[in-house]
Amino acid sequence: MRRANQSVVTEFIFQGLSSQPRTQTVLFVVFLAFYLLTLVGNTVVILVIRADRQLKSPMYFFLANLSFLDICYISCNVPQMLVNLLSEKKTISFSGCAVQMYFSLAFGMTECFLLGVMAYDRYVAICHPLHYTTVVSRQLCIHMVLASWASSLLSSMVINSLTLQLPFCGPATLNHYFCEVPAVLALACADTAVMEMVVFIFSILIVFIPFLFITTSYVRILSAILKIHSARLQAKTFSTCGSHLMVVTIFYGTAICMYMNPRARAPQDGDKVVAVFYTIVAPMLNPFIYSLRNKDMEHALRRALKRPKSLFL
């Protein structure tokens, strides 16, 4: 039963990253640049992989999917944040918040699964090279990507449905720059213990277990690399994994800090900074990390620049 001093929430108010007008202007320029770089960088990666016949291995199939996912992920949050940075009234409707929370969580979960799938691909390629083409078939790649998307969309639906069933009280001020589950949960005017445990369990299943899988895969990969007698071949083999490791470190290192907490609490300013890394910085850096550290991508990009029309055919 709702208390007399409680009101039905129809919109949420964002506190954002700063309340200072000058700082907001600077942040607008910075995050607009980040957003445009993400769109351009990931689109180029997708087009180059699609156009170049030498980039038809499973690794690049997964990379193209990761680039598409990163475009979707950053587009969930940054456009709204950019509007709020220039607006006096930084609000979002209840339904708009629900949609943003659903898709941002679903895309984040998909990234967790996809990074795990990419680790498996590298493990088979390095530890079982003779069986690579038969084990990691095109059909298996498609099934793993579809499973990643389907399980994430379903999991996000469960979490969001349970979260939105809670009563919310006014004034509904989110100490965040987008609608994220921990921040929204903090505004519920009811006991959230069950919901906190649900989020924690899903975090173990979708964040921590894939992270352990990735860690185990790379322990075995490192063991296999150390058995290679040629230093040049060792460096070349490890370079194919280095890019993925950097992406995993940035994304998982920050996502685990946010979600691997069994008890919800009011989000702090530091939490918003952490969220910037896995929702904005990681999607922006991914195409540059993979392109600059991958010789095949570098060569494919040079070939594409010589005949740019091939990217759109």
Rounded to a whole number of angstroms, the distance between the first and last alpha carbons of the chain is: 61
On whether the CB atoms of residues 160 and 105 are closer than 8 A, the answer is yes
For residue 187, the model assigns a pLDDT of 87
For residue 137, the model assigns a pLDDT of 92
Residue-wise pLDDT for 178-203, tens only, equals 998 888 888 888 888 888 888 888 88
For residue 120, the model assigns a pLDDT of 92
For residue 311, the model assigns a pLDDT of 64
The neighbour count for residue 298, using CB atoms within 10 Å, is 12
Q: Which of 78, 2, 65 is nearest to 36 (CA)?
A: 78
Instruction: Domains for the chain: give ranges and CATH numbers.
Output: 13-312 (1.20.1070.10)
Sign of the C-alpha dihedral computed for residues 28, 183, 165 and 111 taken in this order: positive
Residue-wise pLDDT for 45-89, tens only, equals 999 888 888 888 898 999 999 999 999 999 999 999 999 998 888
Q: Name residues whose C-beta falls within 8 Å of residue 260's C-beta, 6 or more positions apart in sequence.
A: 200, 203, 204, 207, 208
Does the N-terminal peptide bond of residue 171 adopt cis geometry, omega within 30 degrees of 0?
yes
Q: What angle (nearest 5°) sits at the alpha carbon of residue 65, between those of residues 95 and 221?
A: 125
- In the predicted model, residues of the chain with pLDDT beneath 70 are 1-7, 170, 236-237, 239-240, 260-269, 292-293, 308-313
For residue 75, the model assigns a pLDDT of 95
This prediction's pTM: 0.88
